[in-house]
Amino acid sequence: MVGVPTFLHVSLIWVPAICTFLLSFTNWNGFRFDNMEFVGLRNYKQLFTVFEKDLYEALLNNAWVLIFLFVVATPLGILVAYILDKNLRGTAVYQSVFYFPVVLSLAVVGFIWKSVIYSPRQGVLNVLLNRTEEGNQISWLGDSDQVITLVSDYGLSKNFLAIIAPMIWRHVGYIMVLYLAGLKAVDPSLREAAAIDGSNEWQSFKNVVFPSLKPVNIVILVITVIEALRVFDIIDVLNNPIGTDVLSILVTESILGESSNVGRGSAYGVMLLMLCFGFVVWYLRSTFREDDA
């Protein structure tokens, strides 16, 4: 009963995860096993020298996704959930509106935003800015100039920001749903007690409601980190414009592109694994702690 599902899961998920580690120390090109040589840390050394620019750009872009989802999308989602929890008029409608983007694939979301919001000739942004004539258009997804510059070549490019925006659009609803479920479970007497003690709305949220939602907060943190590491669809479907590389794109590049370098691709894969590893362990510990008894 347990055997077949476990075999499938282990052989298609965990075996490859371990192989990613092993292959990252080889120079394999993916064709015949006899061309495979152990090269030690060479792939990693190359990542930090020859491919330094790709790697840092990708890491930075992954970090931007995480930052924007955290600083913009998550608080917005929590705020919306908090307001909707009060059962104002139209709560059900609002909930549907904000949740709707969550059921769409990020690939389709990319198409929708590309045609509706960012289209140079007729998109919402250029229409509002009155920049639709030929020669005067803003190319939202084509402009890799930096909005924020950290160190000379590294920063946040305009087109990557344009790709993050729809991700925020989608993430808010996700957070809202998770938080609403959590808020419903908060003991109302806690809040009443806080109100009697004279704390205002913000204080009671900060000191009473938020801490009591710790399990939900952990889930949100983990989901957001993983989402930021997984981002792939929307960038690939928009043809991966210059300045929009992320780790997942680099891993996959050698499969979808011309060259076949399993060793280097795996080294990028190991970076992804390492980045999510801590969060996965933390999530497991917080989830299964009670069950240990």
Partner 1 sequence: MISSRRNQIIAQVFLFAMAVLWMLPILGMIISSFRPYAETSTDPNGFFSWPDTLTLDNFRNAWARGNMPRHWFVTFLVVIPAVILVLFFSSMVAFAVSRYSWKFNIALLMLFTAGNLLPPQSIIQPLFQIYNRIPIPEFAPYSNSGELRGSLIGLILIHVAFQSGFCTFVLSNYMKTLPKELNEAAMVDGASLWRQYWQIVMPLTRPALGALATLEFAWIYNDYFWAVVLVQKGNDLPITSSLRNLSGEFFTDDNLVAAGSLIVVIPTILIYLALRRQFISGLSVGASKG
CB 72 to partner 1: min, Å? 12
Contact status: 191 vs partner 1 (CB under 8 A)? yes
Q: Which residue in 86, 135, 189, 257 binds partner 1 (CB under 8 A)?
A: 86
Residues 23/262, Cβ–Cβ less than 8 Å: yes
Residues 179/82, Cβ–Cβ less than 8 Å: yes
Q: Which residue in 59, 63, 190, 219 binds partner 1 (CB under 8 A)?
A: 219
Stretch in the footprint of partner 1 (CB under 8 A) among 37-45, 64-72, 129-137, 146-154? 129-137
Taking the least distance from each CB to partner 1, the nearer of 156 and 267 is 267
Q: Which residue in 32, 40, 258, 292 binds partner 1 (CB under 8 A)?
A: 292
Contact status: 178 vs partner 1 (CB under 8 A)? yes
The interface with partner 1 within residues 7-66 (CB under 8 A) comprises 8-17, 19-20, 23, 30
Q: Which residue in 63, 66, 117, 221 binds partner 1 (CB under 8 A)?
A: 117
Contact status: 143 vs partner 1 (CB under 8 A)? no
The interface with partner 1 within residues 250-289 (CB under 8 A) comprises 251-252, 254-256, 262, 265-266, 269-270, 272-273, 276, 279-280, 283-284, 287-288
Taking the least distance from each CB to partner 1, the nearer of 91 and 146 is 91
**Residue 181 CB contacts under 8 Å (≥ 6 apart), including other chains:** 216
Residues 172/76, Cβ–Cβ less than 8 Å: yes
Contact status: 136 vs partner 1 (CB under 8 A)? no
Q: Which residue matches tokens 């580690």? A: 21
Residues 135/120, Cβ–Cβ less than 8 Å: no
Residues 30/260, Cβ–Cβ less than 8 Å: yes
Contact status: 232 vs partner 1 (CB under 8 A)? yes
CB 117 to partner 1: min, Å? 6
- What distance in Å separates the CA atoms of residue 50 and residue 130, rounded to the nearest whole number? 43
Taking the least distance from each CB to partner 1, the nearer of 90 and 151 is 90
Q: Which residue matches tokens 């479920």? A: 181
- What distance in Å separates the CA atoms of residue 155 and residue 134, rounded to the nearest whole number? 29
Tokens representing 137? 């258009």
- What distance in Å separates the CA atoms of residue 166 and residue 49, rounded to the nearest whole number? 33
Residues 11/243, Cβ–Cβ less than 8 Å: no
Number of chain positions touching partner 1 (CB under 8 A): 109
Compute CA 130 distance to the chain's CA centroid, rounded to the nearest angstrom. Answer: 32
- What distance in Å separates the CA atoms of residue 88 and residue 33, rounded to the nearest whole number? 64
Q: Which residue in 27, 132, 137, 212 binds partner 1 (CB under 8 A)?
A: 132
Distances (CA, A) of 96 to 91, 144, 165: 9, 35, 20
Taking the least distance from each CB to partner 1, the nearer of 99 and 146 is 99
CB 3 to partner 1: min, Å? 9
The interface with partner 1 within residues 147-166 (CB under 8 A) comprises 166
